[in-house]
Amino acid sequence: MSSVARAHWDIAAIMGGLYGDGIIGLKGAFDRAWVMQMREDIDTLFEEARRVPGGALPRGPQRYYVEFHPERVRGFIDMATHPWFVAVCEAVLGPDYRIVELGFDIPFPGAADQPWHRDFPSPAATLRGRRLNSLAFNLTAVDTVHEMGPLEIALGTQWDDLSLYPRGMFPPRELWPRYEERKVERIPKMGDISARSALTIHRGTANRSSEARPVLVIGVDAPDATNANHHDLQITQAYAQGLPARVKDHLTFRLVDELEPVVQHHVIEGLLKPAY
């Protein structure tokens, strides 16, 4: 582990939080001006994605997910080199972790409660080996309030075996009381960052406000994980020349002369209807 990561963060607490509750966070990781710049880039990217087939995928009524390339957000290097981000990745995923996904989720006013779910089926490393081999980092672009439909996460459920249920991702309704009992509501402010196992059962809730609630997502894999197969991060030759080695060495990417639009393949059909 890097000397910076070792010096500042309690590795036992990181491991305990992600293997226990399934989510941890750091308040005030970035200043508000930095987050406002990120929001500007998200808004631009969303408008572009809406014009590309497969660019903005629905995740339920009035809720979308968009993937993008690293150089399209001005703060990417700041995110990828933040000492807490590095410490968490190294502690849980090992020194050869890989950034495989960049995207953002936007629940607009009118977004409905999602069904309880995880983002993809549990790999054998987790289901049988009891090891986390991927993480999702979230950075809110707004000061979240309850009316915006925040994330609810059912603590400790990253270890649940859903292999007998649809796609290994959606627990049946008769199990929902378990998740209701364990749920916590996440109310992050601008500048906060969280890390979670995408296997921890969670849901987005109804946005009853008049504002959108965009959240940036960074997906990171251990060397044995395969989530990169569902994504297509690209960087241009010009961008690669100025990318620090400590970022480039941890980035799974395709080198291109010009960026191509992201056509997303990770459609989650179970999220296209609200959970009534």
DSSP state of 117: B
> Which domains are delineated in the chain?
3-255 (2.60.120.620)
Give the residues of the chain that fall short of pLDDT 70. Answer: 1-7, 264-276
Phi-psi bin for 69: left (phi > 0), alpha (psi -120 to 50), beta? beta
Axis crossing angle, helix 83-93 with helix 11-19, rounded to the nearest 10: 60
Q: pLDDT value at position 261?
A: 87
Q: pLDDT value at position 234?
A: 97
Are the CB atoms for 120 and 166 separated by under 8 Å? no
Are the CB atoms for 219 and 198 separated by under 8 Å? yes
At 64 the three-state DSSP class reads strand
Model confidence pTM above 0.85: yes
Q: pLDDT value at position 108?
A: 97
Alpha helices in the chain (DSSP H): 3-8, 11-19, 32-50, 76-81, 83-93, 124-127, 176-182, 237-241, 245-248
Cα→Cα distances 243→166, 167, 205, 214, Å: 41, 38, 37, 26
Q: Parallel, antiparallel, or unpaired: how do β-strands 202-204 and 151-154 relate?
A: antiparallel
- The C-alpha atoms of residue 132 and residue 173 are separated, in whole angstroms, by 26
Q: pLDDT value at position 266?
A: 57
